[in-house]
Amino acid sequence: MADANSRSGQVYFNGPILDWCDATHAPHDEGLNYAFEAPARAGMPPIQVAASEGKLLELLLRMVGARRVVELGTLAGYSAIRLARALPEGGKVWTVEFDPRHAEVARDAIARAGLSAKVEVCVGRGVDVLPTLEPHGPFCAVFIDADKESYDVYGRWAARHVRPGGLLLGDNSFLFSNLLDDTPRAAVMRRFHEEAKAHFDTVNVPTPDGLLVGLKR
């Protein structure tokens, strides 16, 4: 039976519990920690995925035997490192970052993690870079954690270029608790959810800001 801290049977745990679970199940080694702390060192927004979410991405990629992965939204490279660690020898992550300075911070973190051969940081707008990656497809997974105004566009691209049995992963799928607002941005995110269902078997994982997970039919 749910306790007083629950809503519709879902229990919301406090910070110390989450910290303990992160340390137990998703600990950082030197490479991960360097990347995770890079935004603070470089004056970038600390908006990378959390430790357990990063580990979840890694496990999901391993479960589908991923080899070729596209990430939209590199920031400082933390999630790219998580994704790359899931891949076998010869696997590759193409990660797309709009800000050239952020891309340089990410390249440094990825190099320190020993993964430069597995990760290519591509600089530019997602809608411009994605067509240049198509010759490398089909892809085993697409992870979206970039400009929310383009999630529907990115989702459609993933539907065309992810292999059957591959993954669509969309972070911030609750849109910072604004998913049901009457705004153009919220409408885009709802469209991303709805259109994903047409091509993927989907579920929305209730991480702090939601993670859409889809398995390509």
Segment 46-102, tens digit of pLDDT: 999 999 999 999 999 999 999 999 999 999 999 999 999 999 999 999 999 999 999
In a domain, 124, yes or no: yes
The amino acid at residue 22 is D
User: Using 50, 70 and 90 to split pLDDT, how confident is the model at 10?
Assistant: low
CATH of the domain at 153: 3.40.50.150
> Would residue 178 count as lying in a domain?
yes
Range of the structural domain that residue 72 is part of: 11-216
Asked whether residue 187 is domain-assigned, the answer is yes
Domain count, the chain: 1
> Does residue 4 sit within a domain?
no
Tell me which of 105 and 8 has the higher pLDDT.
105
Residue 1, pLDDT > 60, answer no
**141: in domain:** yes
Give the predicted TM-score (pTM) of the model.
0.93
Domain membership of residue 1 (yes or no) is no
Instruction: Tell me, yes or no, whether 3 lies in a domain.
Output: no
Rounded to a whole number, what is the distance in angstroms from the first to the last CA of the chain? 36
Maximum CA pair distance of the chain? 53
